[in-house]
Amino acid sequence: MKDKERIAVTGAGAVSCFGTGVRRFFSSLAEGRSGIGPIERWDVSAARSRLAALVRDYDPARVAPASALRRLDLSCKYAAGAAAQALQASGLPCRVITGERIGVAAGTSWTGCLPVRDFLRGFFGEGMEGASPMLFPYTLPSAPASQLAILLELGGPNLTFCQKEASALAAAAHAADLLAGGSADAMLAGGAEDYSEVLHEAYDRLTALSPGRGGPAGSRPYDRTRNGFIAGEGAFFVVLERLAEASRRGADVQAYLAGAAVCHTSCGLHDWPADPAPLVRTMKSALEEAQTSPEEIGWVCSSANSTVPLDGAEMRAIGEIFGGRRRQVLVSSLKGALGEFGAIGGAHLVAACAAIRSGIVPPTAGTVDPEERQGFELVLGRARRTPLDAVLINAFASGGCLVSIVLKRAATARVL
Amino acid sequence: MSTRRRVVISGLGACTALGSNAPWTWSRLVAGECGIRPFSRFDTSAFRARTGAELLEEPIPDGLSPRQSRRMSRTDLTAFAACREALAGAGIDTGREDPSRLGVFLGAASAGLFEAEQYWKEREERGIRRARLSRALGYFLSSTTDHLASLLGAEGPSATVVTACSSSTIAIGRAWEAISDSRCDLAVAGGADTLSVLTVAGFNSLRAVDPYRCRPFHARRNGMSLGEGAGILLLEEHERARRRGAPIIAEVLGYGLACDAYHPTAPHPQGAGSARAMEEALRRARVDRSSIDYISAHGTGTLVNDETETRAIHRVFGERARKVPVSSIKSMLGHCLGAAGAVEAVALALTVAEGVIPPTAGWEQRDPACDLDYVPGAARQARIRAALSNSFGFGGNNATLVLGEHPGGHA
């Protein structure tokens, strides 16, 4: 993989538990705030776990006309907001013939759950009379990507990847390959997802969510008292282009995607990877492809999600790669603030771009009593200011999909 | 980019309405047999269309412990059976391969949805506490990929592509890209999909299904027929396959993608996105359209798909369009949705290797809007230098795969 085509990030957008826009998203993270709160969208009185990081302060009417929004489900509405922001920031001319060369690669783990429930409820209740042809297209997780193509008139490759909690970061890795291979000139890459009572009920019964079988409820990555994840939702997209062309058109290059690795490890369908070795291998191959040494990495945007196995495995894996360096690498997990979900990799990308531009590394919200760690410094409480040349981003999923991406500072990037 | 590694197909596996392996399915496709029958697996009395191309036989969980197979959905088991066939045919023992150089790329559209529906029904009828949640756990579309990767011990790149009816074509394309980019040397590529209540009710609610059987490109065609199955291609880096004396069936030359950006379920009336997908595939495969000797059509049997696909082929092939044979094996296997592109790619590999074009079954009468050579009635012998396989999904997600003949290709 020598001299792989360099892929630039030229725009970013977020619809998150902190509200609309990248600025609110990143400044909230930097302040160490958490977007996790009590669930009010549905009744959780019978559930053990009553917390989630749900989207707030988002008005899709500012993105698309009411007629276009009427039929969209929540995940599509979130997607529209984040994608429109990212495209606007990139300065790409949309809604013109060039749209044929602009594509979408979206990752989602569970989009479509609620329409599936509603469609089946209608059908099982009333037979074909209750089977809604309007609802049916939304039962597929590809609905947000398809709707983005229609709303924003994007005729390039339109892909959806379902790789559990690694979905959105995997989508970005796949998108970078498509760009390098010349399948498109620009790709919106990231993910969109809404959380609902259907999943909450299932996860709660599986005791996958904090507080699991006991202890305080909350998302506390790397904490000694961690006892399960908290689910999140939202939409996060970046615009990727080939660096040479982005520079040529004078785009504001925020960072570039220097290397990516998508690997797999054997574990149960709903178990978190617990063996550090495949995690080490994934991070190493992303670093190799990026031709980047561990010393250059200033921040690891970690995948730790407050579950016992994953946090432990990732901590050991990071220790193995970065142990014994003169300068300790900073590590933090955004899942203390955002929770865990299929589009989280998109949030990692957006945050990493903002971190590279601002030199601010957001802390891990929620964690107070971290486990002993080797070879790295966990950012807790307050953000750190430090110039960042490169960020290693992880998204490791239950079921075994592992993705790492290296983002680097673009020499031409404007300073905020 | 000029030093792309070549990628060949060295193993095939299939599980369909016509047979539980690739040669069985293939021989019946060539004979023009139709696998579309009255539904038998679940109550379909509420539907307009009560036929479909259900699996001929339930997948046999060979090579799995009871504990493993119990956790797998019907889709997962079908995929695993096809995967075993492909690996055996290629002479690959995954236990002896470098796991980090083995990838898994699958398209999906329903995974464990059927089992999850049963959970949902139980939950509605008997309450949350008495519904068996374990049945719903295969609902995530990544399930089949995760199961296969774990069972094979694959540690290389993986992808679960979900773009409705073009899912598995794109998965094969991504696997081709991964091997030619040197991300892995071997890949299990394709997809599996089995029928669920939601799928059948959904397509019925769209009034997209023919009550009897689909008849692609026929003047009085009346909709699609749903199908189910699995298709797995074992893709291998060319030099490696040649060195080990692998049975090379055909070569993957490239793929192309384009989106209509038009409507959630209907295709663009002029077939603009479909035409661009074919053009992009030819460009990436570096194949001139004059050497395309066959097109495996998306050909669902709906009025609008077959007409727009015909238009798109005219648009791409111009004068030559009427000379290129075009057939749709959905006329025999139904529309296998997330697995359609995979099952069709398996058949296309054999079409190229054996120089036999399977027919479009059920075609009787010319539609003025569908004026190509649809290979009606009987299979036809012809040398196929290169061929296209079209897959067009909901949301206008279009994909075209290009396969080419390989000198070692006559199996």
Cβ-based contacts of A99 with chain B (< 8 Å): 261
Best of B80, B137, B142 to disrupt the A interface (most A CBs within 10 Å) is B142
Q: Taking CB atoms and an 8 Å limit, are B160 and A161 in contact across chains? A: yes
Least confident of A63-72, A176-185, A288-297, B167-176: A63-72
Question: Quick one: average pLDDT of B251-275?
Answer: 90
Q: Taking CB atoms and an 8 Å limit, are B155 and A264 in contact across chains? A: yes
Partner residue opposite A162 with nearest CB, options B108, B116, B284: B108
Select the more confidently predicted residue: A93 or A45.
A45
**% of chain A beyond a pLDDT of 70:** 96
* B411: pLDDT strictly greater than 70: no
B128 and chain A: CB distance < 8 Å anywhere?
yes
Q: Decide if A415 is inside a domain.
A: no
Question: Quick one: average pLDDT of A224-231?
Answer: 97
Q: Taking CB atoms and an 8 Å limit, are A264 and B156 in contact across chains? A: yes
Residue B22, token pair as written in the block: 């690739």
- Which residues 274-313 of chain B have a CB within 8 Å of chain A? 276, 280, 284
Domain CATH number, residue A253: 3.40.47.10
Please give the pLDDT value at position A324.
77
Please give the pLDDT value at position B408.
66
Q: Decide if B162 is inside a domain.
A: yes
Question: Quick one: average pLDDT of B227-249?
Answer: 97
Partner residue opposite B109 with nearest CB, options A140, A206, A267: A140
Q: Decide if B139 is inside a domain.
A: yes
Average pLDDT, rounded, for chain B: 95
Please give the pLDDT value at position B409.
56
> CB count, 10 Å around CB of B134?
12
d(CA A238, CA A13): 6
* B240: pLDDT strictly greater than 80: yes
Residue B31, token pair as written in the block: 């004979």
pLDDT tens sequence across B68-113: 999 999 999 999 999 999 999 999 999 999 999 999 999 999 999 9
Q: Decide if B17 is inside a domain.
A: yes
Helical residues (DSSP H) of B206-266, grouped into ranges: 238-243
- Which residues 85-124 of chain B have a CB within 8 Å of chain A? 100, 104, 108-109, 113, 116-117, 120-121, 124
Q: Taking CB atoms and an 8 Å limit, are A137 and B395 in contact across chains? A: yes
pLDDT tens sequence across B145-159: 999 999 999 999 999
- Which residues 146-165 of chain B have a CB within 8 Å of chain A? 146-147, 149-150, 153-164
Question: Quick one: average pLDDT of B379-402?
Answer: 95
B410 is a catalytic site residue: no
Average pLDDT, rounded, for chain A: 93
Cβ-based contacts of B138 with chain A (< 8 Å): 269
DSSP for B322-368, please give it.
GGSBEE-THHHH-B-GGGHHHHHHHHHHHHHHHTEEPPBTT--S-BT
SS (H, E, C) chain A: CCCCCCEEEEEEEEEECCEECHHHHHHHHHCCCCCCEECCCCCCCCCCCCEEECCCCCCHHHCCCHHHHCCCCHHHHHHHHHHHHHHHHHCCCCCCHHHHHEEEEEECCCCCHHHHHHHHHHHHHHHHHHCCCCCHHHHCCCHHHHHHHHHHCCCCCEEEECECECHHHHHHHHHHHHHHCCCCCEEEEEEEECCCHHHHHHHHHCCCECCCCCCCCCCCCCECCCCCECEECEEEEEEEEEHHHHHHCCCCCCEEEEEEEEEECCCCCCCCCCCHHHHHHHHHHHHHHCCCCHHHEEEEEECCCCCHHHHHHHHHHHHHHHCCCCCCEEEEECHHHHCECCCHHHHHHHHHHHHHHHCEECCECCCCCECCCCCEEECECCCEECCCCEEEEEEECCCCEEEEEEEECCCCCCCC
Least confident of A106-110, A151-155, B331-335: A151-155
Q: Decide if B1 is inside a domain.
A: no
Residue B117, token pair as written in the block: 């529906």
Best of B140, B197, B262 to disrupt the A interface (most A CBs within 10 Å) is B140
Please give the pLDDT value at position B261.
84
What's the domain range around B66?
8-404
Q: Decide if A1 is inside a domain.
A: no
What's the domain range around A166?
7-408
Question: Quick one: average pLDDT of A261-280?
Answer: 96
Best of A3, A75, A138, A140 to disrupt the B interface (most B CBs within 10 Å) is A140
Question: H or E segment at B317?
Answer: helix B303-317
Q: Taking CB atoms and an 8 Å limit, are A142 and B205 in contact across chains? A: no
Residue A149, token pair as written in the block: 């193509």
Picking from A262, A265, A254, A304, the residue whose alpha carbon sits closest to that of residue A167 is A262
* A373: pLDDT strictly greater than 80: no
Give the model's confidence band at B265: pLDDT under 50 very low, under 70 low, under 90 confident, else very high: confident
Q: Decide if A109 is inside a domain.
A: yes
Q: Decide if A413 is inside a domain.
A: no
B263 is a catalytic site residue: no
Domain CATH number, residue B315: 3.40.47.10
Best of B73, B117, B160 to disrupt the A interface (most A CBs within 10 Å) is B160
**% of chain B beyond a pLDDT of 70:** 99
* A123: pLDDT strictly greater than 80: yes
What is the tally of structural domains in chain B? 1
Partner residue opposite B150 with nearest CB, options A119, A137, A266: A266
Q: Decide if A390 is inside a domain.
A: yes
Please give the pLDDT value at position A38.
98
Nearest residue on chain A to B173, alpha-carbon basis: A178
Q: Decide if B14 is inside a domain.
A: yes
Give the model's confidence band at A416: pLDDT under 50 very low, under 70 low, under 90 confident, else very high: very low
Please give the pLDDT value at position B262.
83
Among B83, B298, B336, B406, the active-site one is B298
Q: Taking CB atoms and an 8 Å limit, are A132 and B177 in contact across chains? A: no
* A3: pLDDT strictly greater than 70: no
Question: Quick one: average pLDDT of A65-69?
Answer: 86
Cβ-based contacts of A146 with chain B (< 8 Å): 259, 264, 394-397
- Looking at residue B305, the DSSP 8-state letter turns out to be H
Cβ-based contacts of A401 with chain B (< 8 Å): 142, 145-146, 158
Partner residue opposite B157 with nearest CB, options A117, A263, A270: A263
Please give the pLDDT value at position A62.
86
Q: How far is B264 from chain A (nearest CA, A)?
A: 7
Q: Taking CB atoms and an 8 Å limit, are A177 and B153 in contact across chains? A: no
Please give the pLDDT value at position A372.
78
Question: Quick one: average pLDDT of A10-29?
Answer: 98
Please give the pLDDT value at position B129.
87
* A1: pLDDT strictly greater than 50: no
Q: Decide if B3 is inside a domain.
A: no
User: Burial level of B45, CB count in 10 A (0-12/13-18/19+)?
Assistant: exposed
B335 is a catalytic site residue: yes
Please give the pLDDT value at position B407.
81
d(CA A140, CA B84): 28
* B382: pLDDT strictly greater than 90: yes
Q: Decide if A126 is inside a domain.
A: yes
Cβ-based contacts of B280 with chain A (< 8 Å): 183
Please give the pLDDT value at position B42.
87
**Residue pair A69/A61 in contact by the 8 Å Cβ criterion:** yes
pLDDT tens sequence across A208-218: 999 998 899 99
Cβ-based contacts of A205 with chain B (< 8 Å): 128, 133
Give the model's confidence band at B336: pLDDT under 50 very low, under 70 low, under 90 confident, else very high: very high
d(CA B305, CA A255): 42
Q: Decide if B409 is inside a domain.
A: no
Q: How far is A259 from chain B (nearest CA, A)?
A: 12
Q: Taking CB atoms and an 8 Å limit, are B284 and A170 in contact across chains? A: no
Please give the pLDDT value at position A326.
64
Least confident of A319-333, B21-35, B114-128, B387-401: A319-333
Grouping H, G, I as helix, E, B as strand and the rest as coil, residue B213 is coil
* A391: pLDDT strictly greater than 50: yes
Please give the pLDDT value at position A95.
55
Question: H or E segment at B252?
Answer: strand B250-259
Please give the pLDDT value at position B339.
98
Among B34, B83, B165, B370, the active-site one is B165
Q: How far is A358 from chain B (nearest CA, A)?
A: 33
d(CA A31, CA B382): 69
Q: Exposure string (b/e) for B97-107, b if CB count within 10 Å is 16 or more?
A: bebbbbbbbbb
What is the tally of structural domains in chain A? 1
Question: Quick one: average pLDDT of A304-317?
Answer: 96
Select the more confidently predicted residue: A323 or A8.
A8
* A412: pLDDT strictly greater than 50: no
d(CA B57, CA B46): 25
Question: Quick one: average pLDDT of A177-192?
Answer: 95
